[in-house]
A = this chain, B = another copy of it.
Amino acid sequence: MFVPHTSCSLVIMENADPTARKDLEMFFERLVPEDTAYLIHTAEGSDDSTSHIRTVLTRSSEVLPIANGEMQLGTWQGVFLFEHRRKPHQRKIAVTIIGE
């Protein structure tokens, strides 16, 4: 799976309790705060450079094993698109399947 964008990313994350995702968002808001004063790539707003940095700290692709026609995710794993911009965006995900 691959996202052709530079301000959102793919993460494999705890899928059961939404508070886990909430914590992840709060953590990233503290690690890469949108009002980071020293950043200069802010033509599209204060969430411009921070979106790219958050993407690099996570990732644009995820690789998952498939068996019997099903993704072999663990019980608690889900694949999530992690949006790093404030405004809603339409996002595409490219899925490539390799094998017989």
Residues of A that sit less than 8 Å from B by CB: 2-6, 11-14, 17, 19-20, 22-24, 26-27, 30-32, 36, 38-41, 43, 49, 52-53, 55-65, 72-77, 94, 96, 98-99
A17 and B41 form a contact (CB under 8 A) = yes
Q: Chain B: which residue is nearest A58 at the CB level?
A: B56
Q: Which 6 A-B pairs have the closest CB atoms?
A: A4-B74, A19-B41, A23-B49, A20-B41, A12-B60, A6-B14
**Can you report 5 residue pairs joining A to B where beta carbons are below 8 Å apart?**
A4-B74, A12-B56, A19-B40, A20-B41, A24-B53
A64 to chain B, nearest CB (A): 7
Given A56-B13, A61-B63, A72-B94, A23 and B6 contact (CB-CB distance below 8 Å)? no
